[in-house]
Chains A and B, each alone.
Chain A
Amino acid sequence: MALASFATKAVSGLGLRCGLPALASRAYATVVDGLKYAKDHEWVKVEGDVATVGITDHAQSELGDVVYAEMPEVGASFSAGDRMAIVESVKAASDIISPVSGEIVAANEELSSDSSKINTDPYGEGWMVKVKLSNPEELKELMSAKEYEEFCA
């Protein structure tokens, strides 16, 4: 259900790399061009020295319906690879790993009242945090959309 809803929104022009019709099978995860991707299935959108981070469509699909999301406090600092946030789905608390190092400058407070946005709009309203990058060189370690697609295949 979440994937179908997301696919419908995505048709409105997010630059999707997906050859399937709107009601896509759950066997395929959607990937957005122009973002960077981590092996732990987070996406990163860089604007200047600030990166917006969330989890990918593949990750939200595998996690199942997210019923709780706990974001870090603004001002907290993380290194790439640190646990940054927690989401709960299907009785599991899953760590969200920070793909970059830096300081949290914004956290999506909407997720505390509506964590389903992570499922229904993982690349949009389901964004999790914004990070002021302390080591932009780390971005070179992340995958392109095409590389991430191949990684998930």
Chain B
Amino acid sequence: MQPAPGTVVRLLRLAGFPILRQLQLEEALLRATQHNWFVMNDGTPQPAIVLGVSGKPHQLVHLEAAAAHGVALIRRFTGGGTVVVDRDTLFTSLIMQHQSLPGVEPYPRPVMRYTEELYGTVFGPHGPFRLRENDYCFGDVKFGGNAQAITKDRWLHHTSLLWDFQEPRMALLKQPDRQPDYRQDRDHLEFVVRLKDRLPCRATLADQLCGGLEAAGFRLQESSLAEAEEALVANKLCGTRQLDWAQVLAEERQRQQQEQQQQEQHLSAATAGASQV
């Protein structure tokens, strides 16, 4: 699936850009521009836990521990699971107009088939790379999460690539109820792998990713942050926000109280029923 010759992808290179701002910017580029974009960000300065659009904090995060760690809690606008990100996470985001790749229908599976092929040219030389139940893996260990947003005839596919990670932070995540079969109930530390253990050089990965896009037939055009941020003014819909820890913890305490009250009511009803017998 090749684009028409000369199809432009605007390239935005960032480093140490806060993930909250990056996600807000990506959403604006998706919704409020008609251009294709490839955004790369080498690390976010402060650690964060990033939930997908439907993620429930109490189901996915050890809340008290995460709050005590001072890790920001962010809800993003794309689907998918929960990730812990920090300075050693590399982010990429491909934003595409359907007409630029007419052979890729703007639906989740066709988009992921395309990106698997695209990223395969970059990661394939370093191991048994594949998209496995929608995760980027070497064999049966995951090195990158991905998620998508689709609107009309535009789509966005972004990834968080684990160059390295801190095990105590990874342990802040709970085992999700919905998990891929290949995970086989392994906890996070057994299920994910550090890219630094598989790839020779972090600094060259960005160039390799750009090379992958050029090999796929795109013409890359460097863009500045100022140019990209014009989209923020035009965008009216923003599904990305930082959650307030005080509010999240208060809601969780209320939820637990309600759950306990319901359990006590059920127990009372059961006891009353048994005594009548």
Whether A92 and B148, one on each chain, are in contact in the complex, defined by CB atoms closer than 8 angstroms, is yes
Q: Which residues of chain B come closer than 8 Å to A88, judged between CB atoms?
A: 52-54, 79
B80 touches A95 (CB 8 A): no
A92→B79 contact, CB < 8 A: yes
Question: Is there an interface contact between B178 and A90, defined as CB atoms closer than 8 Å?
Answer: no
B201 within 8 A of A: no
- Interface residue B173 (Cβ < 8 Å from any Cβ of A): no
Within 8 A of A (CB), among B135-168: 146-152
Give the bracket for the number of chain B residues in contact with chain A. Answer: 20 to 34
- B208 shortest CB reach to chain A, Å: 24
A86 / chain B contacts, CB cutoff of 8 Å: 53, 239
Chain A CB within 8 A of B14 CB: no
Taking CB atoms and an 8 Å cut-off, the chain B residues in 172-192 that contact chain A are: 178
Query: How many residues on the A side are at the interface (Cβ–Cβ under 8 A)?
Result: 18
- A27-71 interface (Cβ within 8 A of B): 40, 62-64, 67-68, 70
Within 8 A of A (CB), among B11-65: 52-54
Residue B218 lies at the interface, judged by CB distance under 8 Å to chain A: no
| Contact B237 A93, beta carbon cutoff 8 Å | no
Q: Is the interface of A mostly helix, strand, loop or mixed?
A: strand
The interface residues of chain A lying within 8 Å CB-to-CB of B239 are 86, 93
Q: Given A83-B151, A95-B150, A95-B151, A89 and B108 touching (CB < 8 A)? A: yes
Q: Does B266 sit at the interface, judged by CB under 8 A?
A: no
Q: Knowing A62-B105, A68-B54, say if A92 contacts B78 (CB, 8 Å).
A: yes
Question: Chain B: interface secondary structure?
Answer: loop
Instruction: Name the one of B79, B109, B111, B178 contacting A93, with C-beta atoms under 8 angstroms.
Output: B79
**Contact assessment for A91 and B152 in the assembled complex, using a CB-CB cutoff below 8 Å:** no
Say if the beta carbon of B81 comes within 8 Å of chain A: yes
Q: List, in ascending order, chain B residues with CB within 8 A of A68's CB.
A: 53-54, 79
Are the CB atoms of B81 and A90 closer together than 8 Å? no
Residues of A near B134 (CB, < 8 A) are 90-91
A92–B53 alpha-carbon span in the complex (Å): 9
Q: Take A64-B109, A67-B178 as given contacts and tell me if A93 and B77 are in contact as well, using a CB distance cutoff of 8 Å.
A: yes
Query: In the complex, what's the smallest C-beta–C-beta distance from A73 to chain B, in angstroms?
Result: 15
On whether the beta carbons of A64 and B152 are closer than 8 Å, the reply is no
Chain B, range 69-108, C-beta contacts under 8 Å to A:
77-81, 105, 107-108
Question: When each residue 225-260 of chain B gets 1 if its CB lies under 8 Å from chain A and 0 otherwise, what string results?
Answer: 000000000000101000000000000000000000
Chosen A-B contacts, 11 in total, with CB atoms closer than 8 Å, are A64-B107, A91-B134, A91-B148, A92-B80, A92-B111, A92-B150, A93-B150, A94-B149, A94-B150, A94-B151, A95-B152
| Interface positions of A (Cβ within 8 A of B) | 40, 62-64, 67-68, 70, 83, 86, 88-95, 97
The residues of B with any CB-CB pair to A shorter than 8 Å are 52-54, 77-81, 105, 107-109, 111-112, 134, 146-152, 178, 237, 239
Known pairs A90-B79, A93-B149. 17 more at Cβ < 8 A? Answer: A40-B152, A62-B109, A64-B109, A68-B53, A86-B53, A88-B79, A89-B79, A91-B146, A92-B78, A92-B108, A93-B52, A93-B77, A93-B79, A93-B150, A94-B107, A95-B151, A95-B152
